[in-house]
């Protein structure tokens, strides 16, 4: 089965490294023109030079700071005055780690702006043209913690759960326009974010980072953590015509880690 998104335009958040970058690369390899989003201009410029253009793709980038919502709105507004997208991948960096007893109301508000308001606002801007075209894909990068909360990620647990329930409601409203909305529940992937979290765990537990990683790998039924490119494969399938009947779902991509059904 060939999965193609040739001729489609994609906007991919957090795409200067990790999962976001892997998604952008796979969408581009499968024919999409990709707009990258990040605050790291040097990395974005370097990535643009690497993305394939052999299928007529035209790639570009947006310099954004997801933690500054008012400025983010301004940039996104300007972008959609000149551009349309067929595929929207909502992805940002995660909020600071920590348990519920460590976090304040202000922390939750900041996480809400970062993880929820940016997602809803960007989607709001993308939807009118998708509805007009009778085709669209909205894919939200979420976490397995919305099903089984991780006590050291209180902010992410809480706000990403809000994103997934919002997305389910949205899917009911936009399905009639040929638009699908799906959430990917992210497990353990080999990214800088995991390395940073593991470093904090190791320090707190007074063990090596290697031991933390081995323990993490052993928890996963397939006995390893995910490769970012594997994430890109799933997103590209969801973004294609092959997934037209798949919407309103939470899809765990975790090597079988979730214990719940």
Please write the tens of the pLDDT for every residue from 100-158.
Answer: 999 999 999 999 999 999 999 999 999 999 999 999 999 999 999 999 998 989 999 99
Spatial CA neighbour of 253 closest among 238, 240, 239, 234: 234
**Looking at the structure, do residues 123 and 204 belong to the same domain, yes or no?**
no
**Looking at the structure, do residues 57 and 168 belong to the same domain, yes or no?**
yes
Instruction: Report the pLDDT averaged over residues 192-210.
Output: 83
Look up the domain containing 83 and give its range: 9-187+228-251
**Looking at the structure, do residues 112 and 216 belong to the same domain, yes or no?**
no
Structural domains of the chain, count: 2
Distances (CA, A) of 48 to 14, 32, 92, 143, 231: 14, 13, 19, 28, 20
Q: pLDDT at position 202, please?
A: 79
Q: pLDDT at position 157, please?
A: 95
Nearest-angstrom CA–CA distance, 93 and 186: 13
Q: Which CATH number is 169's domain given?
A: 3.40.50.720
Instruction: Report the pLDDT averaged over residues 177-198.
Output: 92
- Partnered with residue 139 across adjacent β-strands are 89, 182
Using the predicted structure, report yes or no on whether residue 261 has a pLDDT greater than 90.
no
Proportion of the chain above pLDDT 90, given as a percent: 87
Nearest-angstrom CA–CA distance, 26 and 230: 9
**Looking at the structure, do residues 36 and 89 belong to the same domain, yes or no?**
yes
**Looking at the structure, do residues 162 and 178 belong to the same domain, yes or no?**
yes
**Looking at the structure, do residues 115 and 196 belong to the same domain, yes or no?**
no
Spatial CA neighbour of 109 closest among 123, 95, 90: 95
Residue 237 pLDDT grade (very low, low, confident, very high; cuts 50, 70, 90): very high
**Looking at the structure, do residues 51 and 130 belong to the same domain, yes or no?**
yes
Is there a domain that residue 260 lies in? Answer: no
CB contact set of 202 (below 8 Å; sequence gap of 6+): 208, 209, 211, 212
Q: pLDDT at position 197, please?
A: 80
The phi, psi pair for 134, rounded to 5°, reads 70, 30
**Looking at the structure, do residues 125 and 93 belong to the same domain, yes or no?**
yes
- Partnered with residue 256 across adjacent β-strands are none
Is there a domain that residue 261 lies in? Answer: no
Is there a domain that residue 256 lies in? Answer: no
Q: pLDDT at position 174, please?
A: 98
Q: 72 near 64, Cβ under 8 Å?
A: yes
Nearest-angstrom CA–CA distance, 197 and 207: 13
**Looking at the structure, do residues 78 and 195 belong to the same domain, yes or no?**
no
**Looking at the structure, do residues 28 and 106 belong to the same domain, yes or no?**
yes
Is there a domain that residue 153 lies in? Answer: yes
DSSP H helical ranges for the chain: 18-29, 41-50, 69-82, 105-112, 118-133, 154-174, 192-205, 209-219, 228-239
């Amino acid at each position: 089965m060939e999965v193609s998104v040739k001729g489609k335009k994609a906007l991919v958040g957090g795409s200067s490294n990790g999962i976001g970058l892997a998604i952008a690369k796979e969408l581009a390899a499968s024919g999409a023109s990709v707009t990258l989003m990040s605050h790291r201009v040097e990395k974005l410029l370097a990535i643009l030079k690497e993305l394939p253009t052999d299928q007529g793709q035209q790639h570009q980038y947006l310099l954004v700071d997801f933690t500054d919502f008012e400025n983010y709105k301004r940039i996104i507004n300007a972008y959609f005055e000149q551009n349309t997208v067929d595929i929207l991948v909502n992805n940002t960096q995660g909020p600071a780690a920590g348990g519920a007893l460590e976090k304040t109301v202000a922390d939750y508000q900041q996480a809400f702006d970062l993880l929820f308001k940016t997602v809803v606002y960007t989607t709001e801007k993308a939807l009118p043209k998708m509805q007009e075209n009778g085709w669209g894909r909205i894919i939200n990068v979420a976490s397995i913690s919305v099903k089984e909360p991780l006590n050291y990620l209180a902010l992410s647990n809480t706000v990403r759960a809000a994103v997934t329930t919002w997305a389910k409601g949205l899917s009911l409203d936009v399905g009639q326009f040929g638009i699908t909305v799906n959430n990917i529940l992210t497990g353990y992937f080999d990214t800088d974010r995991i390395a940073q979290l593991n470093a904090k765990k190791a320090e707190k537990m007074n063990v090596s980072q290697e031991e933390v990683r081995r323990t993490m790998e052993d928890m996963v039924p397939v006995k390893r953590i995910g490769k970012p490119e594997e994430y890109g494969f799933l997103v590209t399938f969801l973004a294609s015509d092959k997934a037209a009947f798949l919407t309103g779902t939470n899809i765990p991509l975790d090597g079988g880690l979730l214990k719940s059904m």
